[in-house]
Amino acid sequence: MKKMISRIFPLIALVWLFSAFIAPPKPVFYLVGDSTTNNPNRPWCSWGQVIFNYFDTTRLSVANRAIAGRSTRQFINEGRWTKIMSTLKPGDFVIVEFGHNEGGKPDTTRTGRRAVLKGNGNDSVIVNYATGPEVVHSYGWYLRKFATDAKSKGATVMIASMVAGNAFKDGKVMRSTTYGIWAKEAAEQVGAYFIDANNRIADKFERMGPEIVKDFYPYDGVHTNAAGAGINASCIIAGIKSDSTNTLNKYLAFQTFPTRPVRTGAATAIKK
């Protein structure tokens, strides 16, 4: 027995010593959304492609999993959310920002395949496709699913209202009085943080004025260039910082947005 103990003890000590030098995996900040979060087609650039510059990426990984043209419903149906859930772990973070592709009537047309029911209710409809029937839910229902699923894995969840665009009328920016409100309601119902990106961005644009803002949208009124992406990202960060209980704050590296542009990946990012 003494010989066995004398052999096992060094092995246990070696395992303990080895494990002491293995750093725990970094938390991951997952970005879930549409082209306003990730638009790799140059020269477009979205907030999710530059927001990593705000964080200390030696301590936090930023994973932009948003995909252009998708709605909440499609993101789930295509298995993209399941893939994130398969790697999500306690201590991770998720932000969800949708709203631009949810409109229309759920049916078998191209637009109908991504449309959701308006509102934040639990109502649903069944759409029959050649591959079989699909139960389609409300915008709020899908947001709540993202949040409840992620929270079940121990992740911190943020639901953001859809970003505002270059849509001035009489000096005021048009705001989302539907999807923005439903996003807030869904966040409150499931205990997720709410990031009011829509109103924060609209407020900033109104202070800047239409002549300045138009330069952020050289192609249409929805999709930004790198400069516009930086403005949107700064408003998302402001929303995160507005609640000191959000532990994502401890990974912030900058209090103001860096301004020197560099090329990273498929888009122009902004880095210090």
Cα-atom radius of gyration of the chain, to the nearest Å?
Answer: 22
Structural domain includes residue 148: yes
Look up tokens 């209710």; give the residue.
121
Residue 223 burial (CB < 10 Å; 0-12/13-18/19+)? buried
For the chain, the domain total comes to 1
Helix, strand, coil percentages, rounded to 5, for the chain: 40, 20, 45
Structural domain includes residue 205: yes
DSSP H or E segment with residue 128: strand 125-129
More confident residue, 99 or 22: 99
Structural domain includes residue 4: no
Backbone angles phi, psi at 134, to 5 degrees: -130, 135
Residue-wise pLDDT for 171-220, tens only, equals 999 999 999 999 999 999 999 999 999 999 999 999 999 999 999 998 89
Residue-wise pLDDT for 62-86, tens only, equals 999 999 999 999 999 999 999 999 9
Domain that holds residue 217: 28-270
Structural domain includes residue 152: yes
Q: The CATH number of the domain where 128 resides is what?
A: 3.40.50.1110
Backbone angles phi, psi at 257, to 5 degrees: -80, 130
Give the torsion through C-alpha atoms of 236, 240, 242, 245, to 10 deg.
Answer: 170
pLDDT band at 156 (very low <50, low <70, confident <90, very high): very high
Q: Which pLDDT score is estimated for 100?
A: 95
The neighbour count for residue 259, using CB atoms within 10 Å, is: 10
Structural domain includes residue 133: yes
Structural domain includes residue 23: no
Residue 155, pLDDT above cutoff 90: yes
| In contact, 140 and 188? CB cutoff 8 Å | no
pLDDT band at 41 (very low <50, low <70, confident <90, very high): confident
- The overall average pLDDT reported for the chain is 88
Residue 96's closest CA among 41, 39, 140, 152?
140
Structural domain includes residue 19: no
Structural domain includes residue 95: yes
The bridge status of strand 168-169 relative to strand 172-173 is antiparallel
